[in-house]
């Protein structure tokens, strides 16, 4: 019987913040107002969440200068993006979904997929990193 490694699981909301900062900031600092607009949340919610992410050492938060991901945050973001892409590939190439149908499904699945499962799935489906569902 397979014994999956137990991983620390953070909330989908926290993961969404990390992923947004990664994609929007591309290594640069991101202003709180941009995060609030991008995630459709209040500025107060952004401030509260960024403090939590800073405590977890996922972001480098500087008052009035914005936020950027730490190496730990960067690793989490790239892991989430890879899981998302693997699920899109699987849904299109193994289950026959149209590319236009898979983004929202993959968005849900990326948050509930352990790293080792994503790697096994990628190997099983012969995932190609140069493939994209977003033409």
Which range of residues forms the domain containing residue 57?
Answer: 12-69
Sign of CA dihedral 70, 8, 118, 30: negative
Stretch 6-13: mean pLDDT: 66
Examine the domain organization and report whether 59 and 96 are in the same domain.
no
Distance CA 56, CA 49 (A): 11
Read off the pLDDT of residues 32-79 as tens digits, 9 standing for 90 and up: 999 999 999 999 999 999 999 999 999 999 988 999 999 999 999 999
Q: What's the CATH number where 118 sits?
A: 1.10.60.10
Number of domains in the chain: 2
As a whole number of Å, the CA-based R_g of the chain is 16
Sign of CA dihedral 72, 77, 82, 83: positive
Distance CA 9, CA 111 (A): 9
Single residue among 69, 90, 116 that ends a domain in this structure: 69
Examine the domain organization and report whether 63 and 19 are in the same domain.
yes
Examine the domain organization and report whether 112 and 79 are in the same domain.
yes
Enter the pTM of the model.
Answer: 0.84
Q: Residue 132's pLDDT is what?
A: 76
Q: Residue 124's pLDDT is what?
A: 94
Nearest CA among 116, 114, 113, 111 for reference residue 11: 111
Distance CA 82, CA 104 (A): 15
- State residue 69 phi and psi, 5-degree precision: -75, 145
């Amino acid at each position: 019987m397979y014994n999956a490694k137990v991983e620390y699981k953070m909330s989908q909301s926290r993961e969404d913040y990390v992923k947004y900062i990664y994609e929007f900031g591309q290594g640069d600092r991101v202003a709180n107002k941009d995060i609030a607009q991008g995630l459709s949340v209040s500025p107060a919610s952004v401030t509260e969440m960024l403090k939590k992410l800073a405590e977890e050492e996922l972001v480098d938060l500087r008052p009035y200068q914005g936020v950027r991901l730490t190496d730990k945050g960067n690793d989490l973001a790239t892991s989430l993006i890879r899981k998302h892409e693997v699920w899109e590939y699987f849904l299109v190439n193994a289950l026959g979904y149209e590319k236009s149908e898979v983004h929202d499904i993959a968005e849900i699945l990326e948050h509930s997929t352990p790293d080792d499962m994503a790697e096994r799935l990628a190997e099983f489906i012969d995932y190609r990193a140069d493939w994209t569902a977003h033409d």
